[in-house]
Homo-oligomer: A and B are copies of this chain.
Amino acid sequence: MLPEIEPPTLQTVGINTFTCPVRIPEKGGGVQHTVATIDLLAQMPQARLESCVSLMTDLLARFLPDIHAGIFPDLLRQMQEQLQAVSARLSMRFPYFIAKKAPVSGTASLMEYQCTFTATSSTVDEPLLTVVVPVTTLCPCSKEISAAGAHNQRAEITLTVQPLALIWLEDLIALCEACGSSEVYALLKRPDEKYVTERAYARPMFVEDVARKVAQQAMTHPDIAWFSVGVESFESIHNHSAYAFVDSRDIDRPAG
C-alpha cells in the first residue's frame, strides 16, 4: 500500500503530439496551409483531474475544422473554465514556408522553417514564437590559420521571443538570417553559389558570434519583451556540434 501522504497540489495533464492541418496567416496577406503537431496541457488541482483529457479532446474536436492562432484565446479560456484549471497551455509546431529569391539570379524558391506558437491562458499576451532558421557558419579560426579555404557548415538558429505586439514569423526569420556567415537557400544557380561562398568567406563567425548578433538585434526590437537564442553548428570537420546560447534575462540592457 502507498503511504497515506498528501498528493501533489498541482499537476499538469494533457495531450501530446496531436497532429492536424492548420492555417497560418502570412505577412503578405495570404494564408498558408501547413501541418501542425499540437500539445495541449492544463495545470490542475489534484482534486479535479477526473476525465480532463476527454474534455480536452472534445474541445479540440469543436475547433478542429479550422485550427489557427486566432482560436488560441478562445480555446484556452474555454479549456480553463470547463476544466476549472489553474492555467492552460497550447503549443503548436509546424513547418512554415517563405518564398525567397536567390541573391543574384533572383530564382524564386520556398525555404522551410520549423516554427512554434505557445499560448497560455494566464496571460493576455501574444503567443510565444519560436523559429528554427538554418544558416551557414564559416569558422574564423580555420580561415585565419589556413593558406586557403575555411571549414564551414550548416548551423541552426533557434530564437524564442515573447512579443509585446504582433511580430510576423517572416520578420523574425529575416532577423536570424542576417546574422550568420551566409543565408541558406532551397535553390541556387551558379552565380548565386559564387555569391554565398564569397559572402560566407568574408564573414567568418563562431556560434557565439551568431548568438550575440541575434541577441543584439532582438534587444533593439521594440516589440520583444524577452528572448532566448541558441545556435548549433553541425561542424564539418567534427562529429559533434558547437553550441552557443543567450537568454535576454542574463543581459544588462543598455540604458534606453
Closest CB-CB distance, A251 to chain B, in whole Å? Answer: 4
Please tell me if A171 contacts chain B, counting CB pairs below 8 Å.
Answer: no
What is the 8 Å Cβ interface bit string for chain A, positions 1-20, against chain B (1 contact, 0 not)?
01101111111111111111
- Report 29 cross-chain contacts, Cβ distance below 8 Å, ordered by A residue: A6-B219, A7-B216, A8-B248, A12-B244, A14-B244, A15-B243, A18-B186, A18-B239, A19-B112, A20-B110, A21-B34, A21-B110, A35-B35, A39-B243, A60-B187, A64-B187, A112-B239, A136-B237, A142-B193, A142-B197, A145-B194, A149-B150, A149-B198, A151-B197, A153-B234, A184-B237, A184-B238, A186-B239, A197-B237
Q: Is A111 an interface residue (CB 8 A)?
A: yes
Instruction: Verify if A226 is at the interface (C-beta below 8 Å from B).
Output: no
Q: Which of A51-59, A121-129, A162-170 contacts B (4 or more CB under 8 A)?
A: A51-59
For A198, what are the chain B residues with a Cβ–Cβ distance below 8 Å?
146-149
Given B17, B34, B207, B212, which contacts A241 in the complex, CB threshold below 8 Å? B17
A215, B8: Cβ atoms closer than 8 Å: yes
Q: Which residues of B contact A112 (CB under 8 A)?
A: 19-20, 35, 239
Residues of B within 8 A of A253 (CB): 6
